[in-house]
Amino acid sequence: MSTESTTYSDAPAIAPDDISHAGRNSLVINILLVSAFVVILNETIMSVAIPRLMVSLNVPASSAQWLTTAFLLTMAVVIPVTGFLLQRMNTRPIFITAMSLFSLGTLAAALSPNLGVLVLARVIQASGTAIMMPLLMTTVMTLVPPAERGKTMGNISIVMSVAPAIGPTISGVILNYLEWRWMFIMVLPIALGALFLGWRQMVNVTTPRFAPLDGVSVVLSAFAFGGIVYGLSNIVVPDAPVPGWVSLLVGVVAMAVFIWRQISLQKHDGALLDLRTFENKNFTVAIIMMAIAMAALFGTIILLPLYLQNVLGLSTLQTGLLLLPGGLLMGFLGPRVGRLYDRLGPTPLLVPGMVIVSVVLWAMTLLGPTTWFGYILAGHIVMSIGFAFLFTPLFTVSLSSVKPQLYSHGSAMVGSVQQVAGAAGVALFIALMSGRTASLAAAGASPTVALSGGITTGFLCGAILSLFAVVAAFFIRKSADHGAPGGMGH
């Protein structure tokens, strides 16, 4: 492995043998955690804003949801390339690139005159976010000893749960008093502050090596992930520019060709996304479970605000405050679940966690136009407890199951599946909601009753999917430790 790190950056690199410096490692991980908090906060700040943006920009739900879907889709397309970037570039320049893209996209969003420009700005933001998450995961796997990874992933789960929790609340407060642009205006100085902190303090903790970039794979991945998500989004939209089933077919075919090409290229270590990570059964089952959990989570995140505001008549501020306790509880439980993972392993956490999520999703299929909001609050809190017991073990066991030389590919794979599943969940839930709402309205139901019926149809889809994840939870075991910190390229 090449050690000529000065080829990639003028910042000092840390040799693998020196990565034992706990203070320096802690500094790097903390900078990445702060930055990850900012980008995840931005990712979820839109959920409560969708109904307001539909009115402000005069667009239907099927168009407005692209503010979320385009963001997730861009991440899904860019994340596979991060496996290449994390091998080829040093920590500091790749961090600066990520936060610069995110800050530029945030500025463009604040200045957007219409939905089209706003979606483009979200795409630029997503390009930075897509780099940040695999960078954080790969760095943690490289620096943290196997016995402490559960605890560290628990700290990451604080960021990944508290940011989504306060995102809708912040959004609700802003939209209650200010126009939607302020969601981005207030995020921008935080993003620039994180960029400045990283520029001053970030150091390099990995040693770059040559990694080929296969252009054909990049194009295939864009058609594969883009076709599948676009197809799901438009499967019940009769006047879509490209029929949903056509896009879905193109996406599935492109995905098959993409997988075939990766299998061929990985024989010579030239794959964009090395699928040898799936040779480990633990990794494969964890990824399947994660995909289902993310689809359910993001689908719920997009439907609940629509239900609370457009069916029950709550304000954006009330909606944000109602969703806050569950997310904060997830953050509180994160490090504790991480310590439990280090002691008990994944199965005793994953099984009850997934059962809880499944039960709440089935309960949500019973929602109606007159359901008391207190039931939603209680259900969201209970579901958040279930998710808290899922994500820390799933992230830890999946990445701990791959060999050190595949950490960057494993992180990219986890990120890709996470975002594609999230985008698919949003697209599928919205498509089912729209189709059922239109059907009920045509049958004579009032707008509120029709929308309520459409939303519960979306939750029914999530509830059915959750049963498969419950079964998968029984097959995940604690992985054998692969390597030691600093052994990424050895």
Q: Where are the domains of the chain?
A: 5-213+272-473, 214-271
CB 450 within 8 A of CB 323: no
The per-residue pLDDT for 8 is 34
Q: Which residue has the tokens 């040093």?
A: 90
| End-to-end Cα spacing for the chain | 8
Using CA atoms, how far apart are residues 42 and 261, in angstroms rounded to an integer? Answer: 34
The per-residue pLDDT for 199 is 86
Using CA atoms, how far apart are residues 260 and 258, in angstroms rounded to an integer? Answer: 5
The per-residue pLDDT for 235 is 67
The torsion angle over the Cα atoms of residues 488, 388, 297 and 305, rounded to 10 degrees, is -130
Using CA atoms, how far apart are residues 116 and 114, in angstroms rounded to an integer? Answer: 6
Alpha helices in 144-236, H assignment, sequence order: 149-177, 182-201, 215-233
Using CA atoms, how far apart are residues 11 and 31, in angstroms rounded to an integer? Answer: 16
**Model pTM above 0.85:** no
Q: Is the alpha carbon torsion for 358, 314, 317, 302 positive or negative? A: positive
Q: Is the alpha carbon torsion for 147, 151, 154, 159 positive or negative? A: negative
Cα dist from 346 to 107, 112, 286, whole Å: 41, 44, 10
> 37 is written with which tokens?
């908090």
Amino acid occupying residue 368: G
Q: Which residue has the tokens 């109904």?
A: 51
Amino acid occupying residue 286: A
Q: Other CB atoms closer than 10 Å to residue 215's CB: what's the count?
A: 8
| Residue ranges in the chain whose pLDDT is less than 70 | 1-22, 24, 47-48, 62, 72, 76, 160-161, 164-165, 205-212, 233-241, 419, 479-490
The per-residue pLDDT for 240 is 65
Reduce the DSSP state of residue 403 to 3 states and report it: coil
Q: What class is the 5-213+272-473 domain? A: mainly alpha
Using CA atoms, how far apart are residues 36 and 164, in angstroms rounded to an integer? Answer: 11
The per-residue pLDDT for 10 is 37
Using CA atoms, how far apart are residues 151 and 400, in angstroms rounded to an integer? Answer: 13
Amino acid occupying residue 341: Y
Using CA atoms, how far apart are residues 138 and 175, in angstroms rounded to an integer? Answer: 36
